[in-house]
Amino acid sequence: MPKPAERLNKLPTYFFAVIGQRIQELQRQGIDIISLDIGSPDMPPPQAVIDALAEWANKPNAHGYTGYRGTPGFRQAVAHYYERRFGVSLDPDKEILPLIGSKEGIVNLSLAYLDRGDLALVPDISYPSYSMGARLAGGEIHWLPTNENNSFMPSLHNIPDAVANTAKLLWVNYPNNPTGATATLEDYVRMVDFCRQHGILLASDNPYVDVNFDGFRANSVLEAPHAKECTIEFMSLSKTYNMGGWRLGAAVGNAEAIKTLLQVKSNVDSGHFRPVYEAGVVAMETTPQQWIDDRNLIYQRRRDRILSVLPQIGLTAAQSKGSLYLWAKVHEGTGAEYVEAALNHAHVAFAPGSAYGPGGDSYVRISLGITDARLEVALERLVNWHNAKQR
């Protein structure tokens, strides 16, 4: 067999593939593992969305390939959503591109803009696809330090001019995966101004914008003045409408960036099954805000329940205002050591902070996407394990 491409030497094995295999091995031994590692909604989408999928799948003319740019109806529904939710006007034909989930768009954006040696600015605690996409494209990464002291917000004024003037992409993500940090509209204004000044494409990954707690309401970066001059944003139906696994999202914003991303996408994938688009239209056009609010209250209660127990299991976390996670600091050792011990002794799976970049070594990520009953069992196991360890 020939050798794999050299670019793969820069890619670690994707963490969730590794831990998934480890969990399967333990389960084959008859061990019950409770997963708090994956950020997948545990509740179904609105019933109307499921009904729309079934209805359209039963139409004989709804099968076959759709276009690379999706259906006009889906793009129009995305435009309606942005106008209604953020007061942002988008051209459905030039400023919206459907995606097979936002993750593929994130990686393809790096392929679209980064040549060998080109620079991407990536927070040192962030979703791995930002850095992995850059590496697949042959680009280089300049890590932006993020921590509790700067509220997990990259300090753009500390970026050296030589770096800022050569970088092509800046990745941001609020509400944040994995930290749960949030951004204000003023934060987005500063990001847009920075990118316009230095000729950088601002890439905002925004799948958790509708997972908000305590009355907080997240923004889109496109609400900032002049944002469309330099910004592309990724939206997803996975978290907003509990449609994880449906692989349905969109890139929106700067028309030139959308056109460039389409050039890559049209060479590597095709459009969705039409009933999925139609179900997405129903999700965006008919889901009541009350449905989203009620769902978020469930996540909020879980967040509060976990926070109440963290001191008893050797962890500390801030009270997040959004996203599907708690970002917990480990009192002793590293996050990876804590994850391994919790999996082996409490049979509870977390994600180690190191999977999210060089700034995450001392943390673990805890998902809220688990039923209340299973969460209580997990917390009881963790408390018993930690108490036994302290004796």
Instruction: Note the pTM of the prediction, 2 decimals.
Output: 0.95
Q: Which whole number is the average pLDDT over 190-209?
A: 98
**Lookup: tokens for 111:** 């392929």
Q: Are strands 363-367 and 325-330 parallel, antiparallel or unpaired?
A: antiparallel
330, 336, 339, 342: CA torsion to nearest 10: -80
Cβ-based neighbour number of residue 346 at 10 Å: 23
Asked whether the predicted pLDDT for residue 18 surpasses 80, the reply is no
Q: Which whole number is the average pLDDT over 103-110?
A: 96
Q: Which whole number is the average pLDDT over 111-137?
A: 96
More reliable by pLDDT, 17 or 222 = 222
CA dist 256 and 235 (Å) reads 18
Asked whether the predicted pLDDT for residue 378 surpasses 70, the reply is yes
Contact 302, 372 (CB under 8 A): yes
Contact 235, 98 (CB under 8 A): no
The yes or no reply on domain 6-44+290-390 and CATH 3.20.20.70 is: no
Model confidence band, residue 210 (pLDDT cutoffs 50, 70, 90): very high
Q: How far lies 75's CA from each of 59, 68, 204, 215, in Å?
A: 21, 12, 19, 29
Please spell the DSSP secondary structure of 1-47, one letter per residue. Answer: -PPPPGGGGG-PPPHHHHHHHHHHHHHHTT---EE-S----SSPPPH
The yes or no reply on domain 47-286 and CATH 3.40.1550.20 is: no
Q: Which whole number is the average pLDDT over 213-228?
A: 98
Rounded to 5°, the CA angle 336-337-339 comes to: 65
Minimum mean pLDDT among 21-30, 292-301, 355-364: which range? 21-30
Q: Which residues does residue 202 pair with via DSSP β-bridges, in sequence order?
A: 170, 231
Domain extents for the chain? 6-44+290-390, 47-286
Contact 248, 52 (CB under 8 A): no
Model confidence band, residue 25 (pLDDT cutoffs 50, 70, 90): confident
CA dist 364 and 378 (Å) reads 15
In this prediction, residue 16 carries a pLDDT of 67
